[in-house]
Structure 1
Amino acid sequence: MEPKNRTRIPQLGKFLDRAEFIGLNRQSLTEITRKLFEEIRNDTITLSPDTDENRLVQLVLSRLDFLCQDLLVPLINATGIVLHTNLGRSPIEKSILDEMQESIGNYCNLEFDITNGKRGERYGHLTKKLSFLLGCEDAIVVNNNASAVFLILNTFASGKETIVSRGELVEIGGSFRVPDVMHASGTQLKEIGTTNKTKASDYLNAITPETAIMMKVHRSNFSIVGFTQEVPFEELIPLAQSKNIIDYYDAGSLSLYDAPYLGDEISARKLFEFAPSLVSFSGDKLLGSVQAGIIAGKKELIKKIKKNQLLRMLRVDKLTMAVLEKTLTRYIKHGPNAIKTHKLLSKSLKCMETQSDIILSHVTHKHKLSIGKTSTYAGGGSLPQHQIESLALIIDDHPKNAENMIKKLRNNGLIARIEKDHVVLDMRSIDDEELLNVASILNTVFEEHQ
């Protein structure tokens, strides 16, 4: 039987010597070409009978381009959720990324002491700045807050007991469960209180000779309301320290300073006025930097953490160190207004109204948009249930078209949300430099939607 596909397959080595492939990775080209030729032989690809070698070159280059496409692409966040976990949480100022290129693009003193010419302390680049900003004795950084929780428990409570309120045994995104992490760390969980009420006496009554830590966990993405009672961490600190037990707060997310959008949440500066033993929190949430787990507190305890062999598995690289250091430097020199996350969360309604007007002035079909008040959340497990007032551009379209509209926006790189059956672009999470791009995307989508 005559084969379905009559395309002539050239000799592999000679084919790869063609001028179109000069400067490209020959190993990658070989893999792609072999796969293509195999498909031709097995008739698993449909080609016209007159397909020549030039066409085969185009197919190989096309597959190479497809393989090399960046899958991590920039998006415009119009959901209003500033710390949107699925969209990368805290946005980083472009100027910070520009400033760090010189140090991270070349060799640097990551673990080198320039003064004495010997091996240096990796964490020393951040310790002084974190201690200054937080008002603590010492600090260390690992790759995320989950690692920080694990490392602290493993260092001080492996084989011993950790007391935690039953109402704080949380599960957050990605099935991260506090009880499971505690078990993996080697500590024995000792639950106290009830789901809705935990008293100081519950902590005291649970103490045994095996108790190593009194731990408080921020609930992150939910609240318990109604008939409730809990012990604030600032009250747990003296309670634990009076019994020579380590007090530890898994804060999840902390803002360095007080801000209107915090609601009832305590800032890091105020928290450390109570001299806690250990606190850990994320770098890419309210701090407004890169993913990291920041552990801060007593110098003697941080020293013991540094001696834990697990630290090497959890340490951060020079990229994380550089972004975090530049962020901390901005806080020290210019304050929170120099941090994009803080600026977005702090925007006034008047500012958002101005932003909306700028977008409207560049949109052709202005009649399809209206401005309305709304509310949003910080996101990322920060400030649970605390609503933040906001302003949105509302797309005036039939409710049945909302899903189709939000899909078209998404395909153009604009991530919005549906509220009351209408697509809204929440200005809370949109930066000034993105306004014209938003208008351009709206014009494109409205033209397609005619």
Structure 2
Amino acid sequence: MSDNPFRALPSVAKVLASPALAPAHESHPAAAVTAQVRAALDRLRDRLKAGEPLSADVDTIAREAMSALDAQSRPLLRSVINATGIVLHTNLGRSPLHEEAARAAYEAARGYLNLELDLATGKRSSRQSPVRAGLKAVTGAEGATAVNNCAAATVIALRAIAAGKEVVVSRGQLVEIGGSFRIPDVMAVSGAALREVGTTNITRLSDYERAITPNTAALMRVHCSNYRVRGYTKSVELEDLVALGRKHNLLVIDDAGSGQVADLTPFGLPGEPLISASVSAGADLVLFSGDKLLGGPQCGLIVGKADLIQRIEKDPLMRAFRLDKMTLAALEATLLLHRDAKKAVRDVPTLRMLTTPLAELKRRTESFAEWVREIPGVTLGVWEDEAFVGGGSLPDVSVPTVVLGLSAAGLSESELAARLRTGTPAVMARVQDGRVLLDLRCVLERQEAELLGALTIACAEHSPS
């Protein structure tokens, strides 16, 4: 017999004939099965070249190919339990939808609906009609429209009213947020020319006024998103900017960012600018996100003067930026919840998470901890900590919270966090001071049993026998 280990490798045909691959032939295309068998054999050859003493068992290779096929068939997007305490976690999709909004999106997706049809007259209608009514009701604006995110809202608003003209913005508000989204770049795409005024920390009303020229179309205030300038700093109030705009017959745009519709100050959270307040202050257009403090799906919302909204909706880019039927359905359902402010704070998941009393969170965490203590090899404690809103909202404001800190015998904190992150269901936790921290603030109550199961599997597999 030859001492060459490569000669012992089975042929592709032989592996394909293995009973271990029989399910794959029924559920996967023949080309995909063959490709995974070839890949498994290639990996085995590489390991043999490295000098590893390996068995070239046909069924083992077939099972490896079968595992690869199964993994390839699973969706990359998976449900995740958010135990980080960051409510608007950008990497986890920001706001979870209320059940009514999720159901509305599901119903829209699974069949037909009157997306652009007036059922009363049988004639074509605007897909904006349902969300326009809701936005006007909760903000007090004359007109409203929606596009696919807040960057798109900024682009199309500036393009419609200021293309080829100047827009005056404070230098301290020329922000960059996640994904290299920069206000100057967005303005350039819109065709508007940026005229920056003031300094990073100080911008006065007189700075705006001195920058006004015959080519000026608008004055713009931009929400500073996920950063703050502290110390010796000064900015212009929106009311004063509106008065200056009226004096010079200029439009005023308020890019309000996170889009707070419900007042959260009674719950101990600092006040973000309310959209209704921006409208009342006289801003001609107010732009904000739908998937942050509104608690809805990803979208960019524009409210303001009706004639300006009409100009925006006539822009050719509106078709490129328009919302699909699922997003529109979820947004309409979310806006219906906001018609009753108390109901919104109680029922919209994002707002409920932000306003959960510390005492209630402590009771819930201690109750959950009693179940976790039953897991062999686990050491845990419960203490107060701080969480953050996330998503560019209330950037440096911490929210008092309660965490469950745990460690598992035989596992480092990073290993335990990785086991939770890659398990089913996936669990995102925090790692701090040698422990894995679980914050139940963002864990839906219906997820608690799943979280306990994920912890049990992650810890029990590696606990001492």
> What TM-score do the two structures reach when normalised by structure 2?
0.86
Matched, 1:217 2:222: yes
Counterpart contact for 1:154–1:186, Cα < 8 Å: yes
Matched, 1:355 2:369: no
Q: 2:51 aligns to what?
A: none
**Distance in 1 between residues matched to 2:111 and 2:28, nearest whole Å:** 25
**Distance in 2 between residues matched to 1:72 and 1:394, nearest whole Å:** 28
Matched, 1:272 2:273: no
Q: 1:198 aligns to what?
A: 203
**Distance in 1 between residues matched to 2:75 and 2:420, nearest whole Å:** 20
Q: Residue type matched to 1:389 in 2?
A: P
Matched, 1:235 2:240: yes
Q: Residue type matched to 1:4 in 2?
A: R
Q: Residue type matched to 1:289 in 2?
A: G
**Distance in 1 between residues matched to 2:61 and 2:383, nearest whole Å:** 55
Q: 1:305 aligns to what?
A: 312
**Distance in 2 between residues matched to 1:41 and 1:200, nearest whole Å:** 69
Q: 1:137 aligns to what?
A: 142
Say if 1:420 and 1:272 are closer, same or farther in 2 by CA, change over 3 A. Answer: farther
Stretch deviating more after TM superposition (266-275 or 252-261): 266-275
Matched, 1:426 2:439: yes
TM-superposed deviation, 1:231: 0.6
Matched, 1:4 2:13: no
- Structure 2 stretches lacking a partner, 5+ long: 49-53
CA offsets per residue over residues 120-176 of structure 1, 9 Å max, x none?
A: 201112100110011111111111101111111111111110100000011101111
Say if 1:211 and 1:261 are closer, same or farther in 2 by CA, change over 3 A. Answer: farther
TM-superposed deviation, 1:230: 0.1
Matched, 1:395 2:400: no
Q: 2:175 aligns to what?
A: 170
Matched, 1:187 2:219: no
Report SS of the residue matched to 1:385.
strand
**Distance in 2 between residues matched to 1:25 and 1:296, nearest whole Å:** 49
CA offsets per residue over residues 32-67 of structure 1, 9 Å max, x none?
A: 425645986999588977738xx8876665443222
Counterpart contact for 1:131–1:137, Cα < 8 Å: yes
Stretch deviating more after TM superposition (247-256 or 98-107): 98-107
Q: 1:345 aligns to what?
A: 354
Counterpart contact for 1:169–1:178, Cα < 8 Å: yes
> What TM-score do the two structures reach when normalised by structure 1?
0.88
Say if 1:106 and 1:23 are closer, same or farther in 2 by CA, change over 3 A. Answer: farther
Say if 1:401 and 1:19 are closer, same or farther in 2 by CA, change over 3 A. Answer: closer
Matched, 1:410 2:421: yes
**Distance in 1 between residues matched to 2:171 and 2:397, nearest whole Å:** 23
Counterpart contact for 2:131–2:328, Cα < 8 Å: yes
Q: What are the residue-to-residue correspondences of 1:5-404 with 2, within 5 Å?
A: 7-10=10-13, 20=23, 24=27, 26=29, 29-33=30-34, 36=37, 51=58, 61-259=66-264, 260-332=267-339, 334-365=343-374, 368-395=379-406, 401-404=412-415
TM-superposed deviation, 1:293: 0.4
CA offsets per residue over residues 293-332 of structure 1, 9 Å max, x none?
A: 0111110000000111011111111111111111112222
Q: Residue type matched to 2:306 in 1?
A: K
RMSD: 3.1
Counterpart contact for 2:254–2:278, Cα < 8 Å: no
Stretch deviating more after TM superposition (272-281 or 76-85): 272-281
Say if 1:443 and 1:37 are closer, same or farther in 2 by CA, change over 3 A. Answer: closer
Counterpart contact for 2:37–2:62, Cα < 8 Å: no
Stretch deviating more after TM superposition (208-217 or 402-411): 402-411
Counterpart contact for 1:392–1:425, Cα < 8 Å: yes
Question: How many pairs were matched up?
Answer: 443
Report SS of the residue matched to 2:405.
strand
TM-superposed deviation, 1:250: 1.1
Counterpart contact for 2:291–2:298, Cα < 8 Å: yes
CA offsets per residue over residues 12-33 of structure 1, 9 Å max, x none?
A: x999xx985687464xx33442
TM-superposed deviation, 1:397: 7.9
Counterpart contact for 2:287–2:300, Cα < 8 Å: yes
**Distance in 2 between residues matched to 1:449 and 1:343, nearest whole Å:** 36
Identity %: 35
TM-superposed deviation, 1:284: 0.7
Counterpart contact for 1:91–1:341, Cα < 8 Å: yes
Stretch deviating more after TM superposition (430-439 or 140-149): 430-439
Report SS of the residue matched to 1:83.
coil
Say if 1:375 and 1:42 are closer, same or farther in 2 by CA, change over 3 A. Answer: closer
Counterpart contact for 2:25–2:33, Cα < 8 Å: no
Say if 1:327 and 1:209 are closer, same or farther in 2 by CA, change over 3 A. Answer: same
- Structure 1 stretches lacking a partner, 5+ long: none
Q: Residue type matched to 1:224 in 2?
A: V
TM-superposed deviation, 1:275: 3.1
Q: Residue type matched to 2:380 in 1?
A: L
Say if 1:178 and 1:368 are closer, same or farther in 2 by CA, change over 3 A. Answer: same
**Distance in 2 between residues matched to 1:62 and 1:370, nearest whole Å:** 38
Report SS of the residue matched to 2:397.
coil
**Distance in 2 between residues matched to 1:50 and 1:446, nearest whole Å:** 33
Counterpart contact for 1:196–1:228, Cα < 8 Å: yes
TM-superposed deviation, 1:223: 0.5
**Distance in 2 between residues matched to 1:323 and 1:150, nearest whole Å:** 23
Stretch deviating more after TM superposition (221-230 or 112-121): 112-121
Say if 1:141 and 1:364 are closer, same or farther in 2 by CA, change over 3 A. Answer: same
Q: Residue type matched to 1:101 in 2?
A: Y
Q: Residue type matched to 1:106 in 2?
A: G
Report SS of the residue matched to 2:394.
coil
Report SS of the residue matched to 1:291.
coil
